[in-house]
């Protein structure tokens, strides 16, 4: 009888411990470090220089964490692995120039918007393509699982003519070597590439208006509040504005004035 009672008591206890083991950790082992996913193929927002992860987003999340008494641990991931990693709880937050969309809000939470962007078309200097309307029949390169793919799908662009790459560097390489006639991607990244490479240009103006946010696991609602508080602090103390000077030469077109809530700026599915 005692043996049966012990088994009866031990079983729910073991199940309870198992449930705890499966629950995502709040932060890293020290309880004060947030694990941040980053795709390092998105300069000037994220890149690697001599093995070190750097960029606008990296500096920004570090300043936000510092303002809130937190530390960061950067975990490099491919872009299409970021949302699944947040859902699985293997990372707490992510910075990767992530456009706030209604579809993504179903799976993760977002901070207030921190950058206003849009898609643009990048072509070679001698191209006759003057904008999106001229792309019919041409091969377009871009990055997988990004808003550029969504945009072309929504516009009825023939997807057989779209080359999707794991990272944007490969898409630019396709353009430079003749494997693609144009690249559609986030304007600040296209501009950064054009500023560092001869023979290419952005044409046609912005195709969209969209906002970047810091993605956060839905199991960490308290972290969203801390990140928003930290973002407000670095806007007030000037660190946010200093990053635009450092990474964009002072171009402030992407500055988000005031507070732009995710639900208010989210693009359609």
| CATH number of 157's domain | 3.40.190.10
Instruction: Work out how many domains the chain is built from and give that number.
Output: 2
Q: Among 203, 220, 251, where does a domain finish?
A: 203
Q: Among 203, 219, 245, where does a domain finish?
A: 203
Q: Which residue has the higher pLDDT, 4 or 191?
A: 191
> Phi/psi class of residue 53: alpha, beta or left (left: φ > 0; alpha: ψ in -120 to 50)?
beta
Give pLDDT tens digits for 33-61: 999 999 999 999 999 999 999 999 999 99
Same domain, 88 and 141: no
Same domain, 229 and 188: no
Same domain, 39 and 110: yes
Give pLDDT tens digits for 118-139: 999 999 999 999 999 999 999 9
Same domain, 98 and 217: yes
Domain span holding position 147: 119-203
Same domain, 112 and 215: yes
Q: Both tokens of residue 141?
A: 């390169």
Residue 12 forms part of a structural domain: no
Same domain, 74 and 188: no
Q: Among 185, 203, 221, where does a domain finish?
A: 203
Q: How does DSSP classify residue 263?
A: H
What pLDDT is attached to residue 31?
Answer: 76
pTM (predicted TM-score): 0.76
Same domain, 199 and 123: yes
- Three-state secondary-structure class, residue 184: strand
Same domain, 182 and 132: yes
Residue 81 forms part of a structural domain: yes
Give pLDDT tens digits for 95-124: 999 999 999 999 999 999 999 999 999 999
pLDDT at residue 24 above 60?
no
Same domain, 38 and 101: yes
H or E segment to which residue 168 belongs: helix 168-177
Residue 172 forms part of a structural domain: yes
Same domain, 124 and 199: yes
pLDDT at residue 1 above 80?
no
Residue 240 forms part of a structural domain: yes
Same domain, 46 and 66: yes
Using only C-alpha atoms, the chain has a radius of gyration, in whole angstroms, of 21
Residue 15 forms part of a structural domain: no
- Determine contact, residues 253/116, Cβ cutoff 8 Å: yes
Give pLDDT tens digits for 192-224: 999 899 999 999 988 999 999 999 999 999 999
pLDDT at residue 9 above 60?
no
Positive or negative, the Cα torsion across 228, 117, 159, 173?
A: negative
Same domain, 131 and 111: no
Residue 25 forms part of a structural domain: no
């Amino acid at each position: 009888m005692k043996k049966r009672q012990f088994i009866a008591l031990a079983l729910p206890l073991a199940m309870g411990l198992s449930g705890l083991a499966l629950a995502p950790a709040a932060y890293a082992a020290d309880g004060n470090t947030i694990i941040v996913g980053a795709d390092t193929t998105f300069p000037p927002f994220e890149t690697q220089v001599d093995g070190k992860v750097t960029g606008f987003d990296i500096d920004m999340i570090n300043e936000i964490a510092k303002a809130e008494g937190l530390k960061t641990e950067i975990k490099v991931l491919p872009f299409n692995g970021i949302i699944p990693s947040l859902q699985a709880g293997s990372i707490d937050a992510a910075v990767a120039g992530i456009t706030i969309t209604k579809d993504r809000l179903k799976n993760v939470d977002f901070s207030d918007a921190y950058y206003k962007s849009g898609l643009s078309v990048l072509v070679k200097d001698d191209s006759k393509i003057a904008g999106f309307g001229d792309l019919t029949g041409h091969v377009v390169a871009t990055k997988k699982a990004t808003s550029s793919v969504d945009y072309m799908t929504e516009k009825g662009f023939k997807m057989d003519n779209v080359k999707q790459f794991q990272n944007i560097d490969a898409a630019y390489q396709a353009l430079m070597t003749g494997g693609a006639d144009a690249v559609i991607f986030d304007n600040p990244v296209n501009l950064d590439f054009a500023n560092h490479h001869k023979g290419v240009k952005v044409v046609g103006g912005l195709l969209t208006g969209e906002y970047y946010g810091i993605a956060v696991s839905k199991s960490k609602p308290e972290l969203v509040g801390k990140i928003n508080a930290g973002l407000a602090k670095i806007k007030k103390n000037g660190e946010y504005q200093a990053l635009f000077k450092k990474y964009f030469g002072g171009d402030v077109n992407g500055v988000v004035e005031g507070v732009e809530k995710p639900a208010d700026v989210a693009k359609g599915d």
